[in-house]
Amino acid sequence: RQLEGALTKLTAYSALTKNKLSVSLTQEILKDIIPLENKKVSISQIQKGVSNYYNIKFNSLLSKKRTKDIVLARQVAIYLSRELTDMSLTSIGGAFGGKDHTTIIHSYNKIEN
C-alpha cells in the first residue's frame, strides 16, 4: 500500500508541477511516506506494488511481453528495485524473468530520464 501511495503521490506531483522527477526530488517528496533508511523493501514487494498500481498481472512483469503498459510497469519496477534494494543488476534481472544486466540498465535509464 505504501508503494502504491508513493507512486500516486509522485504521479500527481509530476502532473501538477510539470516538472521532471529526479532521484533527489523523489526522495524529498517521499521522505514522509517511506523512510528509505529504515525500511527494507524486497523486489517481490516492489513487483506486487507496481503490478497493482498499473493494474497488470504480476506474471506480466516477469514475461517477455512488450506491450506498452507492461513495458512501462516493468521499467518502473526495475527502477525502484535498483533504487530501493542493494541487489546487483544480475540479481534484479533474475527476479524479472532472467533479464540481462544490460536490459536492467536500459530500463533504469529510461525511467530516470
Per-residue pLDDT of 49-58, as tens digits, reads 999 999 999 9
Show the domain range for 40. 2-112
Q: 111 burial class (0-12, 13-18, 19+ CB within 10 angstroms)?
A: middle
pLDDT tens digits, one per residue of 58-84: 999 999 999 999 999 999 999 999 999
| Weakest mean pLDDT among 5-14, 30-39, 66-75 | 30-39
Report the pLDDT averaged over residues 94-107.
96
Percent helix, strand and coil across the chain, each to the nearest 5: 65, 0, 35
Q: What are phi and psi of 13, to 5 degrees?
A: -60, -50
Answering whether pTM is above 0.75, one says no
Higher pLDDT: 77 or 22? It is 77
Q: Can you give the CATH number for the domain in which 12 is found?
A: 1.10.1750.10
Structural domain tally of the chain? 1
